[in-house]
Structure 1
Amino acid sequence: MPWVDEKRLDDEAALQALDTRDSLRSLASAGAQVRRALVSAEDAGIERVSGGERPRSVLVAALGGSSLVCDVLDLLAEPGSPVPVLTRRDAPLPGWVGPLDLVIAVSQSGRAAGPLALAAEAARRGASLLTVGSADSPLAEVSARARGVHVDVAIATPSSRTALWSMLTPVLLAADAMGLAHVPRSTLERVADVLDAVAEECRPSSESFVNPAKVLALALAETVPVVLGDGPLAGVAACRAASMLARTARVPATHGALPDAASQLVATLDGPFGGGAPGAVATPGGDIFADPFLDGPAAPRLGLLALRDPELDPQAAALADAVIASARDAGAVVHEQEARSGEPIERLASLVGLTDFAATYLAIGLGLDPSVSRHVTELRDRTG
């Protein structure tokens, strides 16, 4: 089983030594990313998106560390958007996209093949374009040729995973301007405050027994993690958390959202990690009489990270309570995290901010650099 060195998490020098590209510092800049992105978007003329008119439809293209942009816009626009909002990770561009539609392409580097190809094809068909990425990049050039709006990523970070708010903020500002979702500048400024507060609580100098991100990292260590959102909003945060655990901490994690994932999660409690297999007895504290030399190493237990939305309706909240109770009874390690109050994007930011930090601390606690993966580098070399 993996082993997290708790002392390493409380040693600022050790944290800095392993975090070679300053991922923790970049995550702490999330609030600043929002504020700088608001200025960049306004300087770019975000109000000119789609000619200042509401498009027939909106298609958002993003992948990898930027993919949460698609999920968030879909979440916020779904309840009241007057036009369809769709997402796409890669080519081809749907055949119906034309001059009446808007394509939003997001890539921190401005070179991601999927969003770049979709933006280029959208420009060829005469669709309106909003692009978010690096200045002087191929994506920016496509947007300029198509007379679209390009917003530069305002704050440089080592990866798209740590640049989320630089890329998401202009898209949300555009959605508000077009009446697709209610995310005004004032709300985004409060989001920046929420992210600042999370960064302060999760700062490296905060000791592991009071730092909520370090507490969460230690809770998920030596488990098979499952991240569960108790509804649509927390479900988006759960998807991001599972992605960060896999890509940053190198810990395979699954995720789901209620109500769909209820039976799927509860069924795993019968399996080898849930402590509910036939003849098994749930032992939340472990078997104190087990001998690791005679009995072999203990199997990792299921680790349930339940992300909670305080604005969830009572019936949905009751289902989440029942699932969590079942997990505890089965002997799974359970950690609940409730979002802060506020508008939907504020609540989402509080969950995403915390789990981003937790995944990064988990990587460092395992002795890994959160930004550098040998196997990812090898994969890029093999695929050109």
Structure 2
Amino acid sequence: MPELQESWVDDPNELARRDSRDTLRALATAGAQMREGLTFAAEAPLERLGDERPRSILVAAAGSSQIVGDVLRVLAESSSSVPVAGRTNVPLPGFVGPLDLVIAVSLSGRAPGPLAIATEAARRGAALLSVGADDSPLADVTRQARGVHIGIGRGRDSSRTSVWSLLTPVLVAAGRLGVVDLPEEALQEASRALDTKAEECRPSSESFVNPAKLAAATLAPTVPMALGDGPLMGVAAARASAVLARTARVPATYGVLPDHASQVVACFDGPFTAGGGQGTSSPRIDDIFADPFLDGPAQPRLGLLMLRDAPAAEPTPSSALADAVAAEADEAGCKVVESVAAQAHPLARLAGQLAMVDYIATYLAIGTGIDPSVSPHVANLRDRTRGR
């Protein structure tokens, strides 16, 4: 596995050359995206969605936009009885009807799945909210159904770096309907958390103090797993798995405590950590005499990215389990990176962790010689499937 080249992530000229579409700059606008989204939502005729809670909410989103449904679901679970489900494409579940709300999200407004779901939801008479480009088929479908379409700002060309342009209007609408408990101050606090993370992880902050660069350097030579210490951080872990694959081109699994503790810890007995799969509790010892030209490259170690919620005043079973997993990982020779959320409203805590994993994946890509925004194989796949 490659080592992260510090000069590639610290030198401004190298960053500009290796990050061809300014991914880092786009990520740094997250707080501004959120504030702009609040403005757009305030100007939208949300009263058309009614004044009562819907029976259920279905979020139609594909690819990187699926994070919208994940965030809404985890916030709604703790504050209301309205179930939130997600779909990427038709068929629309049979239960969806006039008492339900369908939210369709697509940056371009042309994603086939969300567009098809919005069309079917309109036919069934469900309330319809969409977020995406103003001049798009999705906006047209929503307006024809007398739903609410909320546009996005200019310069948004990737859903991976425009999460908060898509998510913020959805959160405002859900708050207005009483599905989530999100006062104005909570939304502003989240935007400040995004600004803080952008400052901490800015490109001009050198590798020895930048938390995202440090984490990327630790994870670079590993096969990584992301682990959230509860449902809220589980959303960040799922996001980490997605962006490590899509941005850094690293296949990464993820899990959520307590359910996935055993399957994560079981990997510590495998070929990437303890004794090369010998079932021993002793950490793997690399052969210092190995010749990478004669013996081949060294086998990568397992990496564990632990995304932890803000610590409670008193220890909890969840925090104790997370501590135990981290200790076991360390003893097994697994490289461990911990990112701990700051004390704040749940949305702000989650916002900071989502921003962190985005920065980690981006620096990991750049530092190992990968352009984070350009994938030849993804482009080839689109060419092969165009028109099908």
TM-score (norm 2): 0.95
Deviations 1:116-171 (A, max 9, x none): 11001001111111100011111100111011111101242331000000111111
Q: For residue 45 of structure 2, what is the aligned residue in structure 1? A: 45
Task: Kindly state the Cα deviation for residue 57 of structure 1 after the two structures are TM-superposed.
Answer: 1.6
**Is the contact made by 1:75 and 1:233 (CA closer than 8 Å) also made in structure 2?**
yes
Output the CA distance in 2 between the equivalents of 1:250 and 1:38: 33
Q: For residue 282 of structure 1, what is the aligned residue in structure 2? A: 283
Q: Which runs of 5+ in 1 are unaligned?
A: none
| CA pair 143-297 structure 1, distance change in 2 beyond 3 A | same
Task: Kindly state the Cα deviation for residue 63 of structure 1 after the two structures are TM-superposed.
Answer: 1.5
- Which of 360, 368, 371 matches 2:370? 368
Q: For residue 55 of structure 2, what is the aligned residue in structure 1? A: 56
Deviations 1:75-103 (A, max 9, x none): 00012313222221221111121111110
**Is the contact made by 1:49 and 1:130 (CA closer than 8 Å) also made in structure 2?**
no
Query: Partner of 1:226: helix, strand, or coil?
Result: strand
1:352 maps onto 2:354 in alignment: yes
Query: Partner of 1:52: helix, strand, or coil?
Result: coil
Output the CA distance in 1 between the equivalents of 2:333 and 2:153: 46
Task: Kindly state the Cα deviation for residue 283 of structure 1 after the two structures are TM-superposed.
Answer: 4.3
Please tell me the residue identity of whatever aligns with 1:160: S
Please tell me the residue identity of whatever aligns with 1:225: P
Output the CA distance in 2 between the equivalents of 1:324 and 1:206: 28
Deviations 1:206-238 (A, max 9, x none): 111111111111111010000011111111100
Task: Kindly state the Cα deviation for residue 295 of structure 1 after the two structures are TM-superposed.
Answer: 4.1
Output the CA distance in 2 between the equivalents of 1:226 and 1:233: 17
Q: For residue 111 of structure 1, what is the aligned residue in structure 2? A: 110
| CA pair 279-173 structure 1, distance change in 2 beyond 3 A | closer
Q: For residue 7 of structure 1, what is the aligned residue in structure 2? A: 7
**Is the contact made by 1:158 and 1:371 (CA closer than 8 Å) also made in structure 2?**
no
Q: For residue 332 of structure 2, what is the aligned residue in structure 1? A: 330
Please tell me the residue identity of whatever aligns with 2:380: E
Output the CA distance in 1 between the equivalents of 2:79 and 2:197: 29
- Which aligned pairs between 1:107-146 and structure 2 lie closer than 5 A? 107-146=106-145
Output the CA distance in 2 between the equivalents of 1:122 and 1:334: 45
Q: For residue 343 of structure 1, what is the aligned residue in structure 2? A: 345
1:296 maps onto 2:257 in alignment: no
TM-score (norm 1): 0.96
- Using the aligned pairs only, state the percent identity: 59
Output the CA distance in 2 between the equivalents of 1:5 and 1:314: 39
Output the CA distance in 1 between the equivalents of 2:279 and 2:188: 54
| CA pair 49-22 structure 1, distance change in 2 beyond 3 A | farther
**Is the contact made by 2:7 and 2:14 (CA closer than 8 Å) also made in structure 1?**
no
| CA pair 287-157 structure 1, distance change in 2 beyond 3 A | farther
**Is the contact made by 2:306 and 2:338 (CA closer than 8 Å) also made in structure 1?**
yes
Task: Kindly state the Cα deviation for residue 191 of structure 1 after the two structures are TM-superposed.
Answer: 0.7
Task: Kindly state the Cα deviation for residue 49 of structure 1 after the two structures are TM-superposed.
Answer: 4.6
Deviations 1:25-79 (A, max 9, x none): 1100000000000001111123x25223322221111121111111111100012
- Which aligned pairs between 1:260-271 and structure 2 lie closer than 5 A? 260-271=259-270
Output the CA distance in 2 between the equivalents of 1:152 and 1:311: 37
- Which aligned pairs between 1:20-99 and structure 2 lie closer than 5 A? 20-46=20-46, 48-99=47-98
Output the CA distance in 2 between the equivalents of 1:307 and 1:368: 25
Output the CA distance in 2 between the equivalents of 1:68 and 1:56: 22
Task: Using the TM superposition, name which of 20-29 and 267-276 deviates more.
Answer: 267-276
Output the CA distance in 1 between the equivalents of 2:66 and 2:311: 25
Query: Partner of 2:27: helix, strand, or coil?
Result: helix
Task: Kindly state the Cα deviation for residue 340 of structure 1 after the two structures are TM-superposed.
Answer: 1.1
Output the CA distance in 2 between the equivalents of 1:91 and 1:361: 36
Please tell me the residue identity of whatever aligns with 1:38: L
Task: Using the TM superposition, name which of 229-238 and 184-193 deviates more.
Answer: 184-193
**Is the contact made by 1:228 and 1:256 (CA closer than 8 Å) also made in structure 2?**
yes
Output the CA distance in 2 between the equivalents of 1:357 and 1:4: 14
Output the CA distance in 1 between the equivalents of 2:310 and 2:193: 16
Q: For residue 310 of structure 1, what is the aligned residue in structure 2? A: 310
Q: Which runs of 5+ in 2 are unaligned?
A: none
**Is the contact made by 1:275 and 1:301 (CA closer than 8 Å) also made in structure 2?**
no
Output the CA distance in 1 between the equivalents of 2:295 and 2:121: 61
Please tell me the residue identity of whatever aligns with 1:229: G
Task: Kindly state the Cα deviation for residue 287 of structure 1 after the two structures are TM-superposed.
Answer: 3.9
Output the CA distance in 1 between the equivalents of 2:306 and 2:12: 29
Q: For residue 171 of structure 1, what is the aligned residue in structure 2? A: 170
Output the CA distance in 1 between the equivalents of 2:304 and 2:45: 44
Q: For residue 257 of structure 1, what is the aligned residue in structure 2? A: 256
Aligned residue pair count: 382
